[in-house]
A and B are shown apart, each in its own frame.
Chain A
Amino acid sequence: MSSENALVRFVDIQKSYDGEALVVKNLNLDVAKGEFLTMLGPSGSGKTTCLMMLAGFEPATHGEIFLNEHPINRVPPHKRGIGMVFQNYALFPHMTVAENLAFPLEVRHMDKSEREQRVKRALDMVQLGKFGDPRPAQLSGGQAQRVAVARSLVFDPDLVLMDEPLGALDKNLREQMQYEIKHIHENLGLTVVYVTHDQSEALTMSNRIAVFDDGIIQQCDPPPVLYEEPNNAFVAGFIGENNRFVGKVTEDSGDTVKVEIEAGAVVVAKKVNVEGVGSRSTLSLRPERVTVDPEAGSLPNIFSGKAEELIYLGDHIRTRFTVLGHDDFIVKIPNSAAHARLKEGDTVNIGWNAEDCRALDPSD
């Protein structure tokens, strides 16, 4: 991505609260106009801190943030013109919904008729056209969430920040709201920076996901790339399910490496992020990329495994095998007529492609 159409640029950002530990370590990130970028990571990984620095509530200890090519480190929050949806919505309890929405317009000295028009438009956008009068306390969680979104958009900001906005909702409502926010983003051509620790939310909504851990962006890519081509063991483990083996590289042939898991068992894997012969590596393999009972010789990796546990999930059967001394090897077997039915305790051959098995850094 070229930096010309970047709306937000973090340049060499570092942040420390106590002068002893860095919460954000050297962050460089561009957010393009119209992009939906999600900062994903476990709690304490620095993602919310980054959002707060962008909103202006936390000063960066080092580095510069640019908004529309203007440095904003010294711009106070109320002059940044960035919309924000807070974790608990932060709807003002002493104002009605309409007053809440009118607040940003009022402080911008907009005249009354235009204010009312805009408030109405914003409420219609979140399908709450008739909900101007109640106080926030009288709203359901989903309604309050919509009002919070409407309020962050009512003054037409280019950029909207969302800090785990769906965390307080139950599962069904959360999924529905994910689509609604996504559609609003698409319809209005907004730029959204979204913080969450829920990976499925991130995968559903984002154009790009920046995976944070330990104050560092581990990988920043579109969801399919992130899922299918994780760069390191943390990302592989954090996004989606994966089976992992830890072993020693015994042979390096450019595109692939051979990794010895235990005495005699050698796996052929795609070389992604390993040092070379003799170093340790984590192998990562998605459960749906494993073939049960393959033809002999059709795959480079074929091992015998014992089915320990089968969980029936309708469209697929989740099966736990013991393979190569690991008893937590998960395989998702599609529920199709062609597939052989396994029973607990059966021993079968299972195999996978070298392409699907990624040799990564030795994590811990």
Chain B
Amino acid sequence: MSTAPATVDGPLLTADGVPLKESLQISLRRSKMRALLLVLPPLLFLIFLFVIPIGNMLTRSVDDNLINDVLPNTFAAFETWDKKSEPTEAMFEAFYKDLRDADRTDIGKASVRMNYANPGWRSLIKRTARKIDKMEPPYKEAFLKADDRWLDQDFWRSLGIMKDRVTFGYYLNAVDLDYDYDKNIIQQDEERKVYNLLWWRTIKVSIIVTIACLLLAYPVSYLLATLPMRIANLLMICVLMPFWTSLLVRIVAWMIMLQQNGVVNDTLVAAGVLSDENRLSMMYNFNGTIIVMTQILLPFMILPIYSVMKTIPPSYMKAAQNLGATPTLAFIRVYMPQTIPGIGAGCILVFIVAIGYYITPELVGGKDGRLIGNMVAYHMQRSLNWGLAAAMGTILLCVILVFYWVYDKIIGIDNMKMG
């Protein structure tokens, strides 16, 4: 006991006089380092393949830097213009300087961006840029000689949309709104309105698929959880089978089943249930998307519900019946409330996957079964309007977060069980 800390008021010391806290930290440092090393690979993975891309998407959706970097002089000159009179020589000169100094590919990219503000910019700049080397002052005439559209004030006024380095134009476009040339928010032209319809359809499909999955998954999960092990295992294999089959194979199988001359229709016609001209259209439309997505996402609903049901001992149902409840009442009052964590997890999982789904609608959706995910893909791959695609992705993320928040309010996130 002679080595015990002598001080009564001061910090507690170890036998050799080092403060206890310090010595504790040293002894814990090794295990902390080891823990850090273990989580490092997934942490890096997450940062490089999740955090950075998402951050990139968020910036891209509001980013208008490129155009401002390529055309600095033009925008400076644009600010001095009264937007009513004819474009001035100073503006043409500024434009000339920018086109002359800028890199060719940057001009290309900028012209694509400008095309969103006013379709026509791209061809206008392309034709002008071709002759830029031979141009001499006065530039206004030289520009007009290259293309007489340069007198059109709409082109010049559309620069107003792009003059800020941060733009919400993509977000507006994503919900069928637009800027006018003075940056007032206006409705998109009627014939260009497509997105709102798609948003509603996407949410509708996700909700229908989630509910359909829940209705189908609940009895299956109950069977899985209550049947004897041997039969339950067999059933489980059937549930998991889709995971072992390629997504495409499954979708094609559905096409064969459901199309106009498919197995289902042929059977119904042969059985006399349907006449030949009244064949059901279950493929390449809204129905097709719902049917196939429900089948594909079903396991995501079954597994969490099953894993929760598995933990509910049968004695609860027995106790409820012993206390006087009919089997139905016992199921509703005692069994079902205990499966809510599983239902919640399954619904959130299916809904999140469904809202961003894209392959199935692409293949079986036809015209009225396309979802917002297909639009994102279209803008990523075809139109190369990445700003718009990023804005849509961000909105999608926000919708999911909102649903998540609602779920947390109603059921509570700690109540969720994935297994």
Contact A103/B315 with A77-B321, A78-B327, A155-B324 known, Cβ cut-off 8 Å: no
A residues within 8 A CB of B326?
76, 78, 107
Please choose the segment from A90-98, A298-306, A313-321 that sits at the chain B interface, where 4 or more of its residues have CB less than 8 A away.
A90-98
A-B contact pairs, 18 of them (CB 8 A): A57-B318, A76-B321, A76-B327, A77-B318, A78-B321, A78-B326, A78-B330, A83-B322, A86-B319, A88-B315, A92-B316, A92-B319, A92-B334, A92-B338, A93-B338, A107-B323, A107-B326, A107-B333
Q: How far is the CB of B419 from chain A (nearest CB, A)?
A: 18
**Hey, what's the 0/1 contact readout for A65-90 against B, CB within 8 Å counting as 1?**
00000000000111011111011101
Contact present for B329 and A77 (CB under 8 Å): no
Chain B residues, CB < 8 A from A83: 322
Indicate if the CB atoms of A108 and B324 lie closer than 8 Å.
yes
Inter-chain CA distance A104–B320, complex, in Å, is: 8
Given A78-B326, A78-B327, A107-B329, verify A90-B316 contact (CB < 8 Å): yes
Q: Are A88 and B313 in contact, with the CB atoms below 8 A?
A: yes
A82 vs B320: C-alpha distance when bound (angstroms): 12
Q: How large is the interface on A (under 10, 10 to 19, 20 to 34, 35 or more residues)?
A: 20 to 34
B332 to chain A, nearest CB (A): 11
Residues of B within 8 A of A103 (CB): 320, 323, 325, 333
Extra contacts, 19 of them, besides A56-B322, A155-B324 (Cβ < 8 A), are A56-B321, A77-B318, A78-B321, A78-B324, A78-B326, A84-B319, A84-B322, A86-B319, A90-B313, A92-B316, A92-B319, A94-B337, A103-B320, A103-B323, A104-B324, A104-B325, A107-B323, A107-B326, A108-B324
Is there a chain B Cβ closer than 8 Å to A9's Cβ?
no
Residues from chain B with Cβ under 8 Å of A81 in the complex: 324
Residues of chain B touching chain A, judged by Cβ–Cβ distance below 8 Å, are: 313, 315-316, 318-327, 329-330, 333-334, 337-338
Chain B CB count within 10 A is highest, among A90, A94, A104, for: A90
Query: Chain A contacts of B325 at CB under 8 A?
Result: 78, 103-104, 107
Partner of A86, one of B318, B330, B333: B318
CB distance from B128 to the nearest CB of A (A): 72
The closest CB in chain A to the CB of B336 belongs to A94
Contact with B along A44-80 (1 / 0, CB 8 A): 0000000000011100000000000000000011101
Residues of A near B318 (CB, < 8 A) are 55, 57, 77, 86, 90
- Bound state CA distance, A341 and B223, in angstroms? 68
Main secondary structure of the interface of A (DSSP, over half): loop
Which residues of the partner chain B approach A56 to less than 8 Å between Cβ atoms?
A: 321-322
- Interface class of chain B by DSSP: helix
Distance between B111 CB and nearest chain A CB, rounded to angstroms:
63
Contacts of B333 in A (CB 8 A): 103, 107
B341 → chain A closest CB, angstroms: 10
Q: How far is the CA of A93 from the CA of B318 in the complex (A)?
A: 14
- Name, among A56, A84, A103, the residue most crowded by chain B CB atoms within 10 Å (CB to CB): A103
Q: Is the CB of B322 within 8 A of A82?
A: yes
Kindly state whether residue A151 has any CB partner on chain B within 8 Å: yes
Rounded to whole angstroms, the CA-CA distance of A108 and B320 in the bound complex is: 12
Min distance, Cβ A254 to any Cβ of chain B, angstroms:
52
With A86-B315, A88-B313, A90-B315 known to touch, is A77 a contact of B338 (CB < 8 Å)?
Answer: no
Query: Which residues of A are interface residues toward B (Cβ below 8 A)?
Result: 55-57, 76-78, 80-84, 86-88, 90, 92-94, 103-104, 107-108, 151, 155
B319 contacts A90, C-beta separation under 8 Å: yes
Closest to B329 in A: A107
In the bound complex, what is the Cα–Cα distance between A103 and B333 (angstroms)?
9
Q: How far is the CA of A108 from the CA of B329 in the complex (A)?
A: 12
Residues in B with CB closer than 8 Å to A86 are 315, 318-319
- A80 CA / B322 CA spacing, docked (Å): 8
Residues of A within 8 A of B329 (CB): 107
Q: Which residues of B contact A87 (CB under 8 A)?
A: 315
Of all A-B residue pairs in the complex, the 8 with the closest CB atoms, nearest first, are A90-B319, A104-B323, A90-B315, A77-B321, A94-B337, A107-B325, A78-B321, A84-B322
Q: How far is the CB of A251 from chain B (nearest CB, A)?
A: 56
Q: Which residues of A contact B321 (CB under 8 A)?
A: 56-57, 76-78
A92 and B322 contact, CB distance less than 8 A: no
Q: Which of B315, B318, B324, B327 has the most CB of A within 10 A?
A: B324
Expressed in whole angstroms, the Cα–Cα distance for A90 and B316 within the complex equals 5
Q: How far is the CA of A77 from the CA of B315 in the complex (A)?
A: 13
Residues of chain A contacted by B320 (CB below 8 angstroms): 92, 103
Chain B residues, Cβ within 8 Å of A94: 337-338
* Closest chain B residue, CB of each to CB of A80: B322
| Least CB distance, A86 to chain B, in whole angstroms | 5
Smallest CB–CB gap between A136 and chain B, Å?
11
A151 touches B338 (CB 8 A): no
For residue B319, which residue of chain A has the nearest CB? A90
Closest chain B CB from A99 CB (angstroms): 10
Contact status B315-A78, CB under 8 Å? no
CB distance from B181 to the nearest CB of A (A): 60
Q: How many angstroms between the C-alpha atoms of A108 and B334 in the bound complex?
A: 16
In contact, B315 and A151 (Cβ under 8 angstroms):
no
Q: Which residues of B contact A84 (CB under 8 A)?
A: 319, 322
What is the chain A residue whose CB lies nearest that of B325? Answer: A107
Question: Please, which residues of chain A bring their CB within 8 A of the CB of B323?
Answer: 78, 103-104, 107, 151, 155
Closest chain-A Cβ to B324's Cβ sits at a distance in Å of 5
With a cutoff of 8 Å between Cβ atoms, the chain B residues found around residue A104 in the complex are: 323-325
Report the separation of the CA atoms of residues A76 and B322 in the bound assembly, to the nearest whole angstrom: 9
Which chain A residues lie closer than 8 Å to B313 at the CB level? Answer: 88, 90
Q: Which residues of A contact B334 (CB under 8 A)?
A: 92
Q: Which of A86, A108, A151 has its CB near the most chain B CB atoms (within 10 A)? A: A86
Contacts of A107 on B, CB cut-off 8 Å?
323-326, 329, 333
Of the candidates A78, A88, A108, the one whose C-beta lies within 8 Å of that of B322 is: A78
Query: Chain A residues with Cβ under 8 A from B316's Cβ?
Result: 90, 92
CB distance from A205 to the nearest CB of B (A): 21
A302–B250 Cα distance when bound, in Å, is 87
A88 CA to B313 CA, complexed, in Å = 10
Taken together as a complex, chains A and B put the C-alpha atoms of A103 and B318 apart, in Å, by 14
Contacts of A92 in B (CB 8 A): 316, 319-320, 334, 338
Nearest to A161 among chain B residues (CB) is: B322
| CA gap between A57 and B319 in the complex, in Å | 10
Complex CA distance for A87 and B313, rounded to whole angstroms: 12
* Nearest CB of chain B from residue A248's CB, rounded to whole Å: 49
- A residues near B322, Cβ cutoff 8 Å: 55-56, 77-78, 80, 82-84
Min CB gap A264→B, angstroms = 58
Cα of A83 to Cα of B321 in the assembled complex, Å: 10
Please name the residue on chain A nearest to B330 by beta carbon: A78
Q: How far apart are the CA atoms of A103 and B329 in the complex, in Å? A: 11
Return A89 CB to nearest CB of chain B, in Å. Answer: 8
